[in-house]
Amino acid sequence: MLAFHLRPASGRAAAFLRINRSQRWMASSATSDQEASGPLSSQDPLAILSSGGDFVEATRKAVTMYGVFGCGSEEKDEKWREFCGLLCAKWTWLNDNEHFLPPEIATELFKAICEEGEVTLNSFWTKVLALPDCTARHRFTAFGSMDVKQASEMGLALAHIGRVHIPLARRLEACASAQDTMWTMELSGIAPLISALGLQQYAGQDLYEEIAQRVCDEMADVSRDELLEVLEAFVEGSMYPREIIKYAGRVIHEGMDIFTPADFMRLAKIYQKMDKRHDTFCRAWIQDMLHNRGVDVDPEACSHLERDGDRKYSLVEASFGLSFMKQLRLNTGTTEWWDKEADYRALNGIVVNGFCRADERAVRRILSVMSPRDVSFLASSISRATFLKNSDVEVVVAAIMDRLRYLLTPGNEVGVPLRDRAAEYLAPTMEHLVRCGRNRRKDKYLDCSWVAIWLCKTVYSRSIQQIVSINRSLGHLGYSDLNYHKIWVNFYLDRLDSLSKSDITMIKDTFNKLKLHDEDIGRDLFWRLGLRFQQCVVNTSAARYVAAIRPIAG
């Protein structure tokens, strides 16, 4: 974890004086240099630093030009190393060997290395600065002088790479809990604060109640967008304040007549993350999508989701609506008030036909903005469409696998939480793809070798159920490398006690599909699997018998 270094008040005051003097010096130097060589914003970040430009401007420019460290080319990574070295050297020289960077610069650097990046903080310090980790920590952290906004931004950046940093979270809580801070800060700063506290898994009960009270007291004065933003922040941090949700629901639902598609989508995602449904909202949203505005199946509509109230819903939004109805069990049931089943069938037909009739480029563009959960639900919907032929699903099945491959390949600019969700949904998605079309074998147009390589590399971070399911899907999708499937024999035997009846059935089905018999993998596997299956049957029967016994009265 990162360590943080606090200075006494007198030292901090002196440091701030030096910062102000250095900033004035940088401003005057930059002015003279700017007159000679044009605006600083058009220069390279290294040139901005060398010419005495503003540190924050140079850092933001580096973020734009160099991207995420460790996820781009080696040339850009080398630029990052050079930039950070020059940044530290400049700051040390300007401030009498003071090794601290100001909070605003540290925040920009954290955002640069964390946002959508695979690289971890410790490897960043080691690779970029070539310094001992403890030295780099002290050089880049000065949490004691951070305000609420800067600490919130840093907390959100750390959350993108799945890191929880307790010292930063404590500083964030201390800033927010200071006298009158919560009641004097702007309402626009509350949503990032809530998100950061929730994602860093740190929020005291007193602060939590104070935030909720502030939001409830000002709920009548905030706009719908601000209220939705606060609700999104609470839900993102896995905090569900009942009083806020109750009051906000009344305020928001009263204005559903003037909701735009963007408003409906934002509120629907909030309900989905809470795994709760509001039938009045759901009915208004789905019927607005089907019977009022309609769905635009043009792939170009997915790239221009502006907040225009007159636009139609895109295919991505319709696909989310389909997964929303299925997750919250709105796909069955018929009443006079709402025929849920009919609306679900209508929306399912629009989504399936929209994807299967689009060309390859359009399908890939649409999938690139869909979450792993929605991609998995899409695969499920296509697998249940019995009217589809093999030629109808070739493009979309290959595109779905390529999307998962991109999310799971290290080095791509994908955040750790998103990569973890993709790994979680890989097994069920592949099971759905097996059932797509009338011919299960899809090796003529589908390359699944990357799944085998990925599974071997991450085998000890996956459950036995996921491994068995993925290997069965690989066999049915046409990946028939016998040497690969044979290496799992001893793996299964070592974990025999962890296998359930369904796992044993899938293992048997996998080897039968590949036509691997006793002479290929040994007699021991099927014999011991049979014994384990009988044991599972006995355990299940015994559990049912015990549950059926009732105490005899008297």
pLDDT (0 to 100) of residue 40: 40
pLDDT of residue 544: 58
Distances (CA, A) of 143 to 133, 393, 550: 17, 53, 62
| Percentage of the chain modeled with pLDDT above 70 | 70
Separation of alpha carbons 454 and 430, rounded Å: 14
C-alpha 115/C-alpha 111 separation (Å) is 6
pLDDT of residue 115: 52
> From the first residue on, what is the mean pLDDT of each consecutive set of 10 residues in the chain (554 residues)?
34 39 38 40 76 76 71 74 76 58 66 52 46 44 63 72 68 69 71 76 69 76 77 76 74 78 87 85 90 80 62 87 89 87 91 87 87 90 81 87 89 73 92 80 80 92 93 90 90 89 90 83 83 84 55 48
What is the three-class DSSP state of 355? helix
The confidence score (pLDDT) of residue 71 equals: 59
Contact 462, 488 (CB under 8 A): no
Q: What is the pLDDT of residue 2?
A: 34
Please check whether residue 158 is in contact with residue 113, taking contact to mean a CB–CB distance below 8 angstroms: no
User: Which pair of tokens denotes residue 317?
Assistant: 């939004």
| DSSP assignment of 65-85 | HH-STTSS-HHHHHHHHHHHH
Q: How far apart are CA 134 and CA 1, in angstroms?
A: 10
DSSP H or E run through 508:
helix 501-513
Whole-number Å distance between alpha carbons of 513 and 475: 7
Lookup: tokens for 209: 């109640």
CA geometry: angle at 221 spanning 215 and 223, to 5°? 90
DSSP string, 92-137: HHHTTT--PPPHHHHHHHHHHHHTT----HHHHHHHHH-S-HHHHH
72's tokens: 């781009």
pLDDT for 41? 44
What sign for the dihedral angle of Cα 26, 27, 31, 32? Answer: negative
pLDDT tens for residues 141-175? 555 566 777 777 777 776 766 666 666 677 777 77
> 242-253 and 224-236 helices cross at what angle (nearest 10)?
150
The token duo for 525 is 């596997």
Q: Where are the domains of the chain?
A: 1-145, 146-254, 490-554
Are 448 and 398 contacting, i.e. CB atoms less than 8 angstroms apart?
no
Tokens representing 383 are 């697998």
d(CA 197, CA 206): 13
* Tally of CB atoms within 10 A around 206: 10
Q: What is the DSSP letter of 410?
A: T
**What is the rounded CA–CA span in Å between residue 334 and residue 342?**
8
Say if pTM beats, i.e. exceeds, 0.85: no
Specify which residues 295 forms β-bridges with: 313
Note the pLDDT of residue 119.
Answer: 44
Contacts of 488 (CB under 8 A, 6+ apart): 467, 471
Q: Are 330 and 340 in contact (CB under 8 A)?
A: yes
From first CA to last CA, the distance across the chain in angstroms is 63
What distance in Å separates the CA atoms of residue 358 and residue 299, rounded to the nearest whole number? Answer: 8
